[in-house]
Amino acid sequence: MAASIGAAPCRTLFRRSCGKRLSAAWGLLGGARGLVAQGETHLGFQTVPEAEKEQRVYQVFESVAKKYDIMNDSMSFGIHRLWKDILLHQMNPYPGTQLLDVAGGTGDIAFRFINYVRSQREYRLRQKLKSHQNLSWQEISKSYQEEALKPLGGSQVVICDINKEMVKVGKQKAQLLGYTEGLSWVVGNAEELPFDDDKFDIYTIAFGIRNVTHIDQALQEAYRVLQPGGRFLCLEFSQVNNPLISRLYDLYSFQVIPVLGEIIAGDWKSYQYLVESIRQFPAQEEFKAMIEDAGFLKVEYRNLTAGIVAIHSGFKL
Amino acid sequence: MLTSENTRSGAGARPEVAARRTMLGRATALRRGLQVAAGRTRGPDSGRGSAQPAGLDPALLGLLVCPLSKRPLRYEESSNELINEELGIAYPVVDGIPNMIPQAARKIEQAWHNYSGKKYHEIVVWQML
């Protein structure tokens, strides 16, 4: 497959040598990501009709749902946890924030958000108590009561994922880890969100947007449901800048990951799709332009791990 | 498909139905219809389905709208569904998780689809009286 070619650091050379449609007349849809016919889209390195992509992606995640977290840990050697922690630090939410986590499946971002907000709130309450040295016992007990009643300070997370299995796994995980309040689960399509306009303060989509058939529609929906002043955050695999790391990364992706997928999850094809879909996703600058097209302002991106992963951030102002 | 709260005031059809079709009658019927459908809400806050474990999280009711028309939904406790009357579709709630994918929605059989432009509760009240 493509692994044998892996030497070329140049992206377009890499893609064209995979033997896809080369006729320039078809190059309308897909832009720099490769040439596809009208009404067709990428499914990894294959070209499929758009209507089919959603269903195929659904099947991929349905089959990997139970082993999703284990696979994430083994494929990235646990680094994905660091990436998600960095995302939370960049988000820096305060108590009272309404978060919409799209493609949030197993709830990693949501749980981290709750932990973050909870610890922030405890920290602030403690600071408040420290600064008022001559509080009466009544006031002190009242502040402890407040903390017990509203440990999240009014924050709420809604986790939306298109796949029922992923949401089920996520909900079980939440019960297991003891996250009882502030979490709501919805099965919904990122291209047609079941939420009204101007509802959320932060919209995150972590490792999900490359699976969406119409990324621009998903971005427009993100713009719609965010409040003015709201923030869009996207954590996604992106293009590596460094040629040496790019070679190692390609080697690892195409030789090791599908094998791991077969051993651990019993599913080679799904993980082949995964690594291919990473290659097909637009580069940092192109994705930034797409976010700007949707109406977001002050769009920035930040590369993590030499560009393997990037956090794109935009504001609705 | 009539829901429980609307059949409560059922008194059977009477010949006065035709006589009621005046502007005044329509207004009265509207008001009656609103009282009849007291449990029904235009917006989110039903406050009924929150106690059941398989029911819907009340916090979500305030947020969810139909993904197709972006209009508010009504939570139907008996069948555990979120209903959009205008489009006549119902989204199932499975294990407390609402499934808001349009392809998963069920179309509701409606006899009153043939009444062009009339509102739901008006028609129900016509049938009651």
pLDDT digits (tens, 9 = 90+) for A126-174: 888 787 767 778 877 877 777 666 666 788 899 999 999 999 999 999 9
Helix (H, G, I), strand (E, B) or coil at B85: coil
Reported as a single tens digit per residue, the pLDDT across A1-24 is 444 444 444 444 444 444 444 444
d(CA A125, CA B118): 55
Q: In whole angstroms, what is the distance from residue A45 CA to residue A127 CA?
A: 54
Interchain proximity B63–A184, CB inside 8 Å: yes
- For chain A, counts of helices (H) and of strands (E): 12, 9
Residue B45 has a pLDDT of: 40
Tell me, what's the pLDDT at B126?
Answer: 53
How far B18 CA lies from chain A's nearest CA (Å)?
Answer: 40
Nearest-neighbour CA in chain A from B123: distance (Å): 28
β-pair type (B81-84, B74-76): antiparallel
Instruction: Give A189's contacts in chain B (Cβ within 8 Å).
Output: 67, 100-102
Model confidence at A28, pLDDT cuts 50, 70, 90, reads very low
3-state secondary structure of A300: strand
In the predicted model, is pLDDT for residue A109 greater than 50? yes
Q: Coil, helix or strand for A230?
A: strand
From the CB of residue A253, how many other CB atoms can be counted at a distance below 10 Å? 23
Report the SS3 class of residue A9.
coil
| Rg, C-alpha atoms of chain B | 16
Q: Please tell me the predicted confidence (pLDDT) of residue B32.
A: 55
Residue B18 confidence class, pLDDT cut points 50, 70, 90: low
**Residues of chain B positioned with their CB less than 8 A from the CB of A184:** 57, 59-60, 63
In the predicted model, is pLDDT for residue A317 greater than 70? yes
What is each CA distance from A99 to A73, A156, A192, A225, B82, in whole angstroms? 25, 6, 17, 11, 23
Identify the CA nearest to A4 among candidates A24, A25, A19, A22.
A19
Q: In A207-247, which ranges are E strands?
A: 226-237
The label of the residue with tokens 């009643």 reads: A149
Q: Which residues contact A216 (CB under 8 A, 6 or more apart)?
A: A290, A293, A294
Cβ contacts of residue A144 below 8 Å, gap of 6+?
Answer: none
Q: How many CB pairs under 8 A join A and B?
A: 55
Mean pLDDT within A274-287:
89
Residue B3 in contact with residue B120, Cβ under 8 Å? Answer: no
Residues of B in contact with A197 (CB under 8 A): 70
Instruction: State pLDDT tens for residues A216-228.
Output: 999 999 999 999 9
A125 — pLDDT class (breaks 50, 70, 90): confident
Q: How many angstroms separate the Cα of A287 from the Cα of each of A26, A275, A316?
A: 22, 18, 17
Residues A193-206, mean pLDDT to the nearest whole number = 93
Higher pLDDT, A111 or B61: A111
Question: Which positions of A make up the binding site for S-adenosyl-L-methionine?
Answer: 106, 161, 189-190
Q: Would the CB atoms of A194 and B67 count as touching at under 8 Å?
A: yes
Mutate to test the interface with B, among A192, A193, A200, A221 (most CBs of B within 10 A): A192
Point out the least confidently predicted range of A199-208, A285-294, B1-10.
B1-10
Q: Please check the confidence at residue A315 and state whether its pLDDT lies above 70.
A: yes
Output the pLDDT for position B129: 55
In the prediction, which pLDDT does A218 show? 94
Tell me the average pLDDT across B102-112. 73
Query: What CA–CA distance (Å, rounded) separates B11 from B129?
Result: 6
Of A128, A133, A130, A131, nearest to A147 by C-alpha is A128
Closest residue of chain A to B99, computed from CA coordinates: A187
Residue A266's pLDDT band (cuts 50, 70, 90): confident
pLDDT over 60 (residue A47): yes
Q: Are B81 and B91 in contact (CB under 8 A)?
A: yes
Catalogue all structural domains in chain A, each as residue range(s) with its CATH number. 2-111+155-315 (3.40.50.150)
Is residue A240 within 8 A of residue A308, CB to CB? The reply is yes
User: What is the mean predicted confidence (pLDDT) over A178-186?
Assistant: 88
**Closest of A105, A185, A54 to residue B103, by C-alpha:** A54
Closest residue in B to A224 (Cα–Cα)? B70
B52 pLDDT higher than 60: no
Q: Is the CB of residue B63 less than 8 Å away from at least one CB of chain A?
A: yes
Query: Which range is least confidently modeled, A96-100, A307-311, B28-32, B110-114?
Result: B110-114
- Is 0.80 topped by the overall pTM? no
> Does position B44 have pLDDT exceeding 50, yes or no?
no
Chain mean pLDDT for chain B: 64
Which residues contact residue A262 at a Cβ distance below 8 angstroms, ignoring those fewer than 6 apart? Answer: A268, A271
Give the number of other CB atoms < 10 A from CB of residue A116. Answer: 20
- Give the nearest chain A residue to B96 (CA atoms): A185
Question: What pLDDT sits at residue B21?
Answer: 55
Q: How far apart are CA A223 and CA A296, in angstroms?
A: 7
Give A-chain residues touching B98 at CB under 8 angstroms. Answer: 186-187, 194
A171, closest residue in chain B (CA to CA): B97
Interface contact B67, partner A, CB < 8 A: yes
Cβ of B98 and A186 within 8 Å? yes
Domains by residue range for chain B, with CATH: 58-128 (2.20.25.10)
Pairwise CA distance, residues A179 & A117, whole Å: 13
A167 vs B contacts (CB less than 8 Å): 97
**What's the whole-number mean pLDDT along residues B69-95?**
87
